[in-house]
Amino acid sequence: MKALVLEEKGKLALREFELPATLGPRDVRIKTHTVGICGSDVHYYTHGKIGHFVVNEPMVLGHEASGTVVACGDAVTDLKPGDRVCMEPGIPDPDSRASKLGIYNVDPAVRFWATPPVHGCLTPEVIHPAAFTYKLPDNVSFAEGAMVEPFAIGMQAALRAKIQPGDIAVVTGAGPIGMMVALAALAGGCARVIVADLAQPKLDIIGAYDGIETVNIRHESLTDAVAAATDGWGADLVFECSGAAPAILGMHEFARPGGAIVLVGMPVDPVPVDIVGLQARELRLETVFRYANVYDRAIALIASGKVDLKPLISASLPFEDSIAGFDRAVEARDSDVKLQIVMPQ
Ligand code: ZN
């Protein structure tokens, strides 16, 4: 079985790769259809590590996937061969304290696709627990199914924010995750979402959605835009999605007194935070790490038409061209949102 393998930093290969192939009683075997390229896949490709996760041996990339069930373990009752599905890539220990608390995303034992030493899903078939495999409604395509994973982070951010109907939100950073957060915030009840970034092509894409305004901070003031939208009061919610040190240092300035900041973006290195700035407005601070228990909600929103992720798919490439796809993902960071790879069917 061929897979897209990160051999080492900067070196990808499309080659035969044997993955463990035992179908447990609660597992399903899935023929993968569409896999999105994530910023983390690209980061492993270009840097060979993220924080303390280091690629020390060849690893299959990819964790944003949809596909078709081809076989089910004996104990699987809610899925059957032929079902179109998407897969949640992080598998916790079901008996862990975190799992019992419903916060399995922060289970120290979680095994997450394409996070060393766990292999990802850029391979024609995967075996996955049925409990983390979700049926796609007929009106949700495989391409959209592969967008559920990044959208799930937006869902987690929206839930952590505890949005109230009519809230005004600011999103700093218009990368794919910032866009997902903006769309989830709107779906969650925000009346207006102001998205700020430096890359105009990305702002144009997200600004095309109703309810979303954009600010190019290269030549516009986000402070002024927030003041204009809120009569100088400040935004109810600030979603920090850039991970950039200056944005993190100034994030409190956009929030209203008593508002909240949701930290989604991940800085590469530790960054300074203005504690007094946060305290002086008594801001609530929330953090987001991946997601838990949001896939059903995410799929329901996509199926309802309330969230349309299709405009965020910049291109889809055949599996044979996936190395070129990764190189494009490195080069076109400011104009592409999501590149997807379609597996041979
Ligand atoms: Zn991802």
Q: How much distance in Å is there from the Cα of 74 to the middle of ligand 1? A: 31
Q: How far apart are CA 338 and CA 145, in angstroms?
A: 13
Ranges 16-25, 97-106, 129-138, 168-177: which has the least confidence: 16-25
Give the pLDDT of residue 46.
Answer: 95
The model's confidence at residue 150, banded by pLDDT at 50, 70 and 90, is: very high
CB within 8 A of 233, min separation 6: which ones?
Answer: 256
Residue 314: pLDDT band (50, 70, 90) is: very high
Averaged pLDDT, 179-186: 98
Looking at residues 106-116, what average pLDDT do you find? 96
Cα pseudo-dihedral 31, 49, 337, 158, rounded to 10: 90
Going by C-alpha positions, the residue among 329, 335, 13, 310 that lies closest to residue 198 is 335
Residue 210 scores a pLDDT above 80? yes
CA of residue 292 to ligand 1 center, whole Å: 14
Q: Is the pLDDT of residue 126 over 80?
A: yes
> Per-residue pLDDT tens for 55-86?
999 999 999 999 999 999 999 999 999 999 99
Indicate the average pLDDT of the chain. Answer: 96
Cα atoms in the 13 Å half-sphere on the side-chain side of 235: 31
**For residue 25, what pLDDT is reported?**
97
Q: How far is the CA of 279 from the centre of ligand 1 (A)?
A: 32
One-letter amino acid identity for 156?
Q
Residue 19: per-residue pLDDT: 81
pLDDT of residue 52: 87
Nearest in space to 254 (alpha carbons), one of 162, 168, 170? 170
CA of 164 to the centre of ligand 1 (A): 27
What pLDDT does residue 51 have? Answer: 84
Share of the chain above pLDDT 90, in %: 95
pLDDT for position 332: 82
Classified as helix, coil or strand, 63 is: coil
- Inform me whether the pLDDT recorded for 20 exceeds 90: no
Are residues 174 and 214 in contact, defined by beta-carbon separation less than 8 angstroms?
yes
Ligand 1 centroid to 38 CA: how many Å? 4
Average pLDDT over residues 117-126: 96
Q: What is the pLDDT of residue 249?
A: 97
Does 162 have pLDDT greater than 90? yes
pLDDT for 23-61, tens place per residue? 999 999 999 999 999 999 999 999 999 988 999 999 999
Rounded to the nearest angstrom, the distance between the alpha carbon of 148 and the centre of ligand 1 is: 10
Print the SS3 string covering 133-157.
EEECCCCCCHHHHCCHHHHHHHHHH
CA–centroid distance, residue 231 to ligand 1 (Å)? 36
- The pTM for the full model equals 0.97
Helices (H), the chain: 39-47, 97-101, 142-145, 148-161, 176-187, 200-207, 222-230, 245-250, 275-280, 295-304, 322-331
Q: Give CA–CA dist 177/314, Å, rounded.
A: 14
- Ligand 1 centre to CA of 39 (Å) is 6
Q: What's 132's DSSP letter?
A: G
The closest of 23, 42, 17, 20 to 133, measured between CA atoms, is 23
Cα(150) to centroid of ligand 1, in Å? Answer: 5
> For ligand 1, a single-atom ion, which residues have Cβ within 5 Å?
38
Q: Is the pLDDT of residue 18 over 90?
A: no
Query: Which one has a higher pLDDT value, 189 or 21?
Result: 189
Mean pLDDT confidence for 323-330: 94
